[in-house]
Amino acid sequence: MSARLRNILLWIVALAVLILIPFVVEDRYFMHIAVMAGIFTILTLSWNLLAGYTGQLNLGHAAFYGIGAYTSAILAMQTGLSPWLGLFAGGLVAAVFGLMLGFPALRLSGPYLAITTIGFAEILRLVAMNWVDLTRGSLGLSGVPLLTPIKIGDFTMQFYFERDYYYVVVAGVLFTLFCIRRLIGSEFGVTLQAMRDDEAGAQSIGINPSSYKLAVFTISAFFAGFAGGLFAHFARLVSPELLALHNTFDILTMAMIGGLGTIAGPILGAVSLTILSEALRSMEEVLKIDIRLIVYGLLLILTILFMREGLVGVIKNVWARVKGDR
């Protein structure tokens, strides 16, 4: 069997499993968790595009998430724009902000970049808190419209239950995944990796690092904004909390634990940490305490100290060993 055929089969199986999950597990709470896992997968994939492929640490990613959510919600509530278009509008507005942040970020690195991006997100969070006319301040916007029904012939797909949104989010993840895989596999992606490995070397073959960093900042922000839009119409509540630093910390923990600078890593990280955190939440009833974030912090430290390549690296090693034994 050729590698290509095997790949296609693998994709079909994965897709079938994803489609069938809601038929097997009908629990609404579980579906809610699955939707959030999907949204965080998109966020982590997009954050990793910047951090993992260009080595720039953006600690303000949650701001793009929030911008997308607010944009999509406000457009739907005030102009009546179709939420479906709103998802992309949210992405585009976030992308514009990404470009804006990208310019100063070009000249900065390490702690300077980290703190500037945090500052960017914090300032925007305060704007969301205080621009009450537009955002209703810390109360947030509630009653964001649901995604509008889609009619195909006689069949109408409603978007009301968690399960419906599950399919939307799966489609969103696949869309993101498709785009990012395309980008990484292309000349564009090779250029990014070249810059990450050696910037002077990259310049010597005609690469202008600044323009690429700007482009990646913009693209990364687009997908975060897109994820924000998905969240807005799913949760129907958008609050300044979305822009908070701890969301960015969740994203980077997921990316690190999954494996920075890979495509499978962020997916693995987002899904496994979401599941883990639910497992810990159920343990809370026994332990009487919330140890979820303690475990996050500990895992993040241990990952960096002992498995820098993340889960993807571990799986690769195990796989190599299994193959070697045969």
Partner 1 sequence: MGAILTTDRLTKNFGGLTAVNDVSFSLEQGEILGLIGPNGAGKTTLINLISGAFPPSKGTITFEGRDITRDKAHTVNTLGIARTFQVVRIFSRLTALENVLAAMVDRKHKGPWSLVWDSFFRRACALTEDKESCATADSLLDFVGISKYRDEQAGNMPYALTKRLEIARALATQPKLLLLDEPSSGLNPAELTGQIDLIQKINAQGTSILIIEHVMKVIMGISHRLIVLHYGEKIAEGEPEKVYNDPLVVEAYLGGDSDAQH
Partner 2 sequence: MDSLFLQQVLNGLITGSVYSLIAIGLTMIFGVMKISNFAQGDYSMVGAYTAVFVMAWVGGWLGWIGSVVAAAAVVGLLGVVTERLVFRPLMTRWTDIDMIMVSIGLFILLDNLAQLFFGATPRMIGDPFGGTTVNLGVASTSLLRLFCFFFAGVTIFCLELFLNRSRMGVAIRATSQNRFAAQLMGIDINQVYRITFGVGALLAGVGGVLYGTLFAIYPTMGALPTLKAFAVTILGGMGNIRGAIWGGLILGVAEALGGNYIAMEYKQAIGFFIIILVLLVKPSGLFGRKEGA
Per CB under 8 A, residues contacting partner 2 are 51, 55, 57, 104, 107-112, 114-116, 118-120, 122-123, 126, 129-130, 245, 249, 252-253, 256, 260, 289-291, 293-294, 296-301, 304-305, 308
Verify binding: residue 193, partner 1, rule CB under 8 A.
yes
Q: Which does 289 bind (CB under 5 to 8 A by kind): partner 1, partner 2, none?
A: partner 2
What is the DSSP-derived secondary structure letter of residue 261? T
Task: Kindly state the helix (H) or strand (E) to which residue 66 belongs, with its residue range.
Answer: helix 61-74
Nearest residue to 169 via CA among 229, 82, 128, 259: 229
Verify binding: residue 317, partner 1, rule CB under 8 A.
no
Q: Taking CB under 8 A as the criterion, which residues in 213-272 touch partner 1? A: 214-215, 219
What is the DSSP-derived secondary structure letter of residue 1? -
Residue 182 or 308: the one with the smaller Cβ distance to partner 2 is: 308
Q: Please, how many CA atoms are within 13 Å of residue 178, restricted to the half-sphere of its CB?
A: 7
Q: Which does 314 bind (CB under 5 to 8 A by kind): partner 1, partner 2, none?
A: none
Q: Work out which of 55, 137, 145, 189 binds partner 1, going by CB under 8 A.
A: 189
d(CA 55, CA 60): 15
Min. distance of Cβ 304 from partner 2 in angstroms? Answer: 5
- Classify 107 as helix, strand or coil: coil
Phi, psi values for residue 5, rounded to 5° = -65, -45
d(CA 171, CA 184): 20
What is the DSSP-derived secondary structure letter of residue 186? S
Min. distance of Cβ 226 from partner 2 in angstroms? Answer: 25
Residues near partner 1 (CB under 8 A) are: 179, 182-183, 185-191, 193-194, 196-198, 200-209, 211-212, 214-215, 219
